[in-house]
Amino acid sequence: MEATGEIFVLPFFGQGHLNPSMELCRNISSHNFNVTLIIPSHLSSSIPATFSDESPFIHVAEIPFAGSQPETEAPARGNPLDQQNKQMGEGIKSFLSNRSGTRPTCVVIDVMMSWSKEIFVDHRIPVASFSTSGAAFSAMAYGRWKAKIGDLKPGEIRELPGLPKEMAATYSDLFKGPRGRPQRPNRPAGDHANRNRGGPPRGSRGGGPPGPDQKPRWVDEVDGAVALLVNTCDKLERLFIDYLAEQTKIPVWGIGPLLPEKFWKSAGSILHDREMRSNRKANYTEDEVFQWLESKPVGSVIYISFGSEVGPSIDEYKELAKALEESNQAFIWVIQPGSGKSGIPKSFLGPVQTDSEEEEEGYYPDGLDTIVGNRGMIITGWAPQLLILSHPSTGGFLSHCGWNSTVEAIGRGVPILGWPIRGDQFDNAKLVANHLKIGFVITSGVGEDGRPRKVNKDDIAAGVEKLMTDEEVHEQAKKLSKEFECGFPVSSVKALGAFVEFISRKVA
């Protein structure tokens, strides 16, 4: 069958961005469009070997990537991603200049790669923006900006016009900025460094995040795009999708959640990650994790994971270890390389030359495994998250509330205890607790100045106990998951079809 056209997809570097981008490619290909995933070469190992074989319409274009500088060299000034983005930008230009055939119908660009818009525009390729987060994050940031929440006082609550009352801004929102990695660059160094389109206004700070009452960065990131695609669905965030469309004045479609096809076709069954995702190094095999879960009562295990890109500080990890040690709670705790360390994940920067094993390892709760025995399982490295969340022994999820993890838990009816670290995670956690009512957020209390204090072991223990024992939240989580038992949301199927039709007319 002949392809109707071709669409490029350009993801950001993190696995949390790459996975939904691959799913988007699969879904676009079902509309008889050629779809090309453009990635830096160092991410090729993160793409399953069978990805391009799944459809004759799916292709991968690798941009040659030299990687980051050795750690023995002095770091370059400015945002560490600038050099990577400059290199990626030059590679994209070369790729576009050297390819033959008809011009692509459009390119779908992750908003965190918005600096590249001008490159595609120069080649007369229409740009659609793509947010791998949910809609609430962008909507809430916009609402806080318009409500000018910077003058909020301790204890004060301010509703955001057009958004649900339960998502109102509070004084603590003023202090919920990024606490680590990654910081997002405004634009790459290079040819377009002095042009304003696609970045914040001239004079704003380089890689730092905007304040809670300042214009959110996504507003400039989608400027000039013909549409905005969001990794969500009507059932979860219709109100927020409509709000974004009203503010941007461009079509906004919820085309997710972009999870593996088997996730949607296996409702009520235990999933096996090895059938859907590339296995990575870990101290336990997937089968060993399964057998451990099989030995536990239904709903008795809390799963603890902060994803591959962010996590608490080392001091906070120590508090978590104390809370687990002093409790009787069964748990699986996943600890990623570099846990507790700040800065951009090394995987974002390409292959790194390093002789420092300790630098990669980061925090580990030495001795905890011996103390808790079979009550706990501490996984270092990759964990089979879909298996864990779909197993009936799992009764709760202590999570940073990254969007992919959040929707995976929602789809399997697992209530969430949010411990957000940065970015969209704060709004995702508020969505889970206040709007969807399928979990809670760890509460640390405030100091004498009204600011949130650091999370301690008592905060963690109280949150875990509340999550695992609250029957109403468990019932609501199960009820919401039933909305997805029939498979990938129908609203999202229709939305992607509408986008494909829209973009086809746009270039006709």
Predicted pLDDT of residue 213: 74
In terms of C-beta density within 10 A (0-12 exposed, 13-18 middle, 19 or more buried), how is residue 124 classed? exposed
Q: How confident is the model at residue 310 (pLDDT cuts 50, 70, 90)?
A: confident
Phi, psi of 180 (to 5 degrees): 165, -110
Mean pLDDT of the residues in the chain: 87
The 10s digit of each residue's pLDDT in 217-255 is 999 999 999 999 999 999 999 999 999 999 999 999 999
Cβ neighbors of 312 (< 8 A, separation 6 or more) are 306, 320, 340, 419, 421, 455
- Answer whether 230's CB lies under 8 Å from 495's CB: no
Cβ neighbors of 452 (< 8 A, separation 6 or more) are 172, 175, 444, 445, 446
Q: How confident is the model at residue 190 (pLDDT cuts 50, 70, 90)?
A: very low
Predicted pLDDT of residue 116: 97
Instruction: Write down the H helix ranges in 2-134.
Output: 15-29, 81-98, 117-122
The 10s digit of each residue's pLDDT in 31-89 is 999 999 999 998 888 898 889 888 999 999 999 987 655 444 444 555 667 888 899 99
Q: How confident is the model at residue 177 (pLDDT cuts 50, 70, 90)?
A: low
Least trusted range by pLDDT, from 256-265, 352-361, 384-393 = 352-361
Predicted pLDDT of residue 346: 57
Q: How confident is the model at residue 339 (pLDDT cuts 50, 70, 90)?
A: confident
Query: Between 180 and 290, where is the model more confident?
Result: 290
Q: Does position 206 have pLDDT exceeding 50, yes or no?
A: no
The 10s digit of each residue's pLDDT in 417-451 is 999 998 899 999 999 999 999 999 998 877 777 67
Q: How confident is the model at residue 322 (pLDDT cuts 50, 70, 90)?
A: very high
Q: Tokens for 201, please give them.
A: 């206004």
**Mean pLDDT, residues 300-304 taken together:** 98
DSSP-derived secondary structure letter, 210: P
The 10s digit of each residue's pLDDT in 326-337 is 999 999 999 988
* AA identity, residue 2: E
List 269's β-bridge partners, or say none. none
**Mean pLDDT, residues 381-396 taken together:** 96
Q: Does position 465 have pLDDT exceeding 90, yes or no?
A: yes
- Answer whether 79's CB lies under 8 Å from 206's CB: yes
- Residue percentage of the chain with pLDDT more than 70: 85
Q: Does position 167 have pLDDT exceeding 80, yes or no?
A: yes
**Strand extents, DSSP E, 111-263:** 127-131, 157-158, 169-170, 228-230, 252-254
Residue extent(s) of CATH 3.40.50.2000 domains in the chain: 5-69+79-135+216-259+487-506, 269-350+363-483
Handedness of CA 400, 402, 403, 409 (dihedral sign): negative
Torsion region of 185: left, alpha or beta (phi above 0 gives left; psi -120 to 50 gives alpha): beta
Predicted pLDDT of residue 360: 56
The 10s digit of each residue's pLDDT in 272-297 is 888 777 667 899 999 999 999 999 99
Q: Tokens for 417, please give them.
A: 């205890």
Predicted pLDDT of residue 46: 87
Tell me the CATH number for domain 5-69+79-135+216-259+487-506: 3.40.50.2000
Predicted pLDDT of residue 232: 98
Predicted pLDDT of residue 201: 33
- Answer whether 395's CB lies under 8 Å from 468's CB: yes
The third-level CATH classification (topology) of the domain covering 269-350+363-483 is Rossmann fold (3.40.50)
Phi, psi of 238 (to 5 degrees): -55, -40
Q: Tokens for 448, please give them.
A: 């004498």
- Answer whether 64's CB lies under 8 Å from 91's CB: yes
Long-range Cβ pairs for the range 405-409 (8 Å, 24+): 405/305, 405/307, 406/134, 406/432, 407/134, 407/231, 407/232, 407/236, 407/256, 407/257, 407/259, 408/259, 408/263, 409/477
Handedness of CA 226, 228, 234, 237 (dihedral sign): negative
Predicted pLDDT of residue 274: 80
Q: Does position 101 have pLDDT exceeding 90, yes or no?
A: no
Phi, psi of 462 (to 5 degrees): -65, -40
